[in-house]
Amino acid sequence: MSYPFIDSPLVTASIERPAAEAIEAARAFPSATLLEAANKLGALPSAIKPVSPAFRVCGPAVTVHSPPGDNLWLHRALVVAQPGDVLVVYTSDYYEAGYWGEVMSTAAKERGVAGLVIDGCVRDAELLARIGFPVFSRGLCIRGTTKDFAARGWINHPLRIGDVAVRPGDLVVGDADGVVVLAQESIDATLRAASEREDTEAEILARIAAGELTLDIYGWNR
């Protein structure tokens, strides 16, 4: 089936993605560890949390700029996204709508999409948890959305959520603590730093178990 919107300059259908090995390696680390390893860069607003605490997501970003109160461009993004991708959605700072629910989670799961991170609200919370497709949002909103074919949106163009610039193909990792976005060019260095950080923390935990105090371990005993 043909989709005319794909030929629009508002849509970039083909993007560069991180290597599969890098995505798999990032999956092993908590979001907080990756954030610290990335020099504290890339944390999305703390209001964006998983709809279910068990949700975890890791994959390359397919960015979506949605008109306020309208989710047609999210439906379109499901055509563009490839298996393993994470939809990262900016809703033009309009939060009084549920942009995503049971139907879209089911469709995304069938497509093999890895998850949704939306700077906006969703609905059908209990059903989303039951479906098991990872959804990270600002919260829940019972209000529905429009489908305005004249409204302008974008797919796979850079966008900004909070103070974080998100580009297509950046690596997105989310868990119960929140969501971090790693620029593609920083992924390898961040993964090395994350591994070193976990080794260091393991040593510190062993010292604590042996009876040392954190003030002494970190040299803060002044």
Domains and CATH numbers, the chain: 20-184 (3.50.30.40)
pLDDT tens digits along 102-125: 999 999 999 999 999 999 999 999
Confirm if 84 and 114 have CB atoms less than 8 A apart: yes
The amino acid occupying position 153 is: G
pLDDT tens digits along 130-161: 999 999 999 999 999 999 999 999 999 999 99
Residues forming the annotated binding site for substrate? Answer: 101-104, 123
Q: Report which DSSP code applies to 44.
A: P
pLDDT tens digits along 33-81: 999 999 999 999 999 999 999 999 999 999 999 999 999 999 999 999 9
> What's the CA angle centered on 137, arms 157 and 90, to 5 degrees?
25
Residues forming the annotated binding site for Mg(2+)? Answer: 124
The amino acid occupying position 18 is: P
Q: Are strands 135-137 and 159-161 parallel, antiparallel or unpaired?
A: unpaired
Distance CA 124, CA 126 (A): 6
Q: What stretches of 112-218 adopt beta strand conformation (E)?
A: 115-119, 121-122, 135-137, 139-140, 154-155, 159-161, 164-166, 171-175, 178-182
- Check residue 92 and give its pLDDT: 96
Distance CA 33, CA 28 (A): 10
Q: Are strands 135-137 and 49-50 parallel, antiparallel or unpaired?
A: antiparallel
Pick the more confident residue, 2 or 118: 118
What's the Cα-to-Cα distance from 57 to each of 154, 177, 200, 202, rounded to whole Å? 23, 12, 25, 24
| pTM metric for this prediction | 0.96
Residue reference for tokens 């033009």: 92
Confirm if 26 and 34 have CB atoms less than 8 A apart: yes
Residues forming the annotated binding site? Answer: 101-104, 123-124
Question: What is the pLDDT of the chain when averaged over all its residues?
Answer: 97
pLDDT tens digits along 149-194: 999 999 999 999 999 999 999 999 999 999 999 999 999 999 999 9
Distance CA 71, CA 58 (A): 23
Structure tokens at 205: 């935990």
